[in-house]
Each structure stands twice: as structure tokens, then as C-alpha cells.
A and B are shown apart, each in its own frame.
Chain A
Amino acid sequence: DADVTQTPRNRITKTGKRIMLECSQTKGHDRMYWYRQDPGLGLRLIYYSFDVKDINKGEISDGYSVSRQAQAKFSLSLESAIPNQTALYFCATSDPWVANEQFFGPGTRLTVL
């Protein structure tokens, strides 16, 4: 089945380290998104992309960067991780020509010590 996958699923890192989270999809969707989930705050949009090389800031982009080098891959980077970036991170995809639904990956739990 076509799916959205994320690597790693869990990551513990230290303050100041650079870290990259990867998202891959086999759904053939053009649109991809990165969200973070924090208890009591819901899901907040970090960045989104409509196509290869297209990058748009979301609600909380400070401290993050992204790369969309291929239709199927969307990477999220934390250049210098800090403890308040500890969260559950989700990638999502959508194809507006088919339906409005966003399909989420399984999530990456990131802990910054």
C-alpha cells in the first residue's frame, strides 16, 4: 500500500547538535508538510512544500529548515537543537486534485537533552 514513512522513529540528542528528520512517501503526492505535536497545543505547521524546490514557512518555522530535493522526500533539519524542540514530529502529504485529506506519517519522537 502507498504510505508515508519517517526516519528515525525515535531520537535522543543533545543541545546544540544538528539533526535531520526524513520523510518519504509512495503516494505520489505533490504537497508535503511538517508538523510538531505538543501536549495541550495540538499540531502546529512548521513548513510545507507544493513541489520540488518549493518551500513555504508555516506557523512556527524559527529554528527549523527543510529541503525538498525530490517529489517523494521532504527533510526537516534542526541546525542547533534546543530542549524546547522536544516534541513529536509528523510529516504529511496531500493531493488536492483527488481529495483534501492530509495523510500523516507515523511520527518521530525527538528528545533534546
Chain B
Amino acid sequence: GENVEQHPSTLSVQEGDSAVIKCTYSDSASNYFPWYKQELGKRPQLIIDIRSNVGEKKDQRIAVTLNKTAKHFSLHITETQPEDSAVYFCAASQGDYKLSFGAGTTVTVRA
């Protein structure tokens, strides 16, 4: 099955700086890569996703890049704000239902 590794496990950034989270996947057949954000005590929520036919996708301050050859994808958050503090999970799947999640990255934005 698919194996997704996520780094770093924790990330502390100064407000206004950028944050980058990286994930690698093992199954070359995977073609869907979502990112979920989970605030403390809350449910995970989708923030952005990308399919394998696209190399980069951007939505305001967040962007995701995908390198199919190297089998890795990354989440970039620019101009970080306190409300960006949360746990972020990457995931991969062939199709869009049987998601394999990474272990998560706890992001803390320091004021």
C-alpha cells in the first residue's frame, strides 16, 4: 500500500515568515494529493489539493507543489499569521477516496 512520510513533525515560525512542509509518497500510481488543517480540538478540514497532472497550485497565501518524478509534494504558507497555527496533514491516494495520511506537522506561529 501507499506510504506517506511527512517532515518536519514540528515547525515554529515568526509571524510574517514562510512555512514549508514536505511529504514523500511511495506509490507511483497515486494521483491525488490533498492537505488538511486541524486546529486544536477541531476536525480536519481540506485547505488545498492537487492532482498529478498539475505541478503547482496556489490559493491566496498557500501553495502546493508536486514533483512526480521524485514522488514528493510540499505545502508553502507565506506571510504566516497566528491563525495558521495548527496541525497540517498531507495525504496521497490513487483516486480520491482511499487516502493515506502523513503523520502530521504541528505549526506554531510566534507573534
Contact = CB atoms under 8 A, between A and B. Distances in A.
Bound pair (A, B): yes
Interface of A: 31, 33, 40-45, 48, 50, 58-59, 90, 94, 96, 100-102, 104-107
Interface residues of B, number: 23
Contacts of B100: 45, 59
A45, A94, A100: residue with the most chain B Cβ atoms closer than 10 Å: A100
Given A40-B9, A59-B1, A94-B97, A100 B103 contact: no
Contact of A44 (B6, B44, B97, B101): B101
Interface in B77-99: 89, 91, 96-99
B40 to A, nearest CB: 12
Given A94-B96, A106-B42, 20 more contacts: A40-B9, A40-B104, A41-B103, A42-B4, A42-B102, A42-B104, A43-B89, A43-B91, A43-B101, A45-B98, A48-B98, A50-B97, A58-B98, A59-B100, A94-B97, A100-B34, A100-B96, A101-B46, A101-B49, A102-B99
A59 B4 CA distance: 13
B43 interface: yes
B61 to A, nearest CB: 19
A59 B42 CA distance: 23
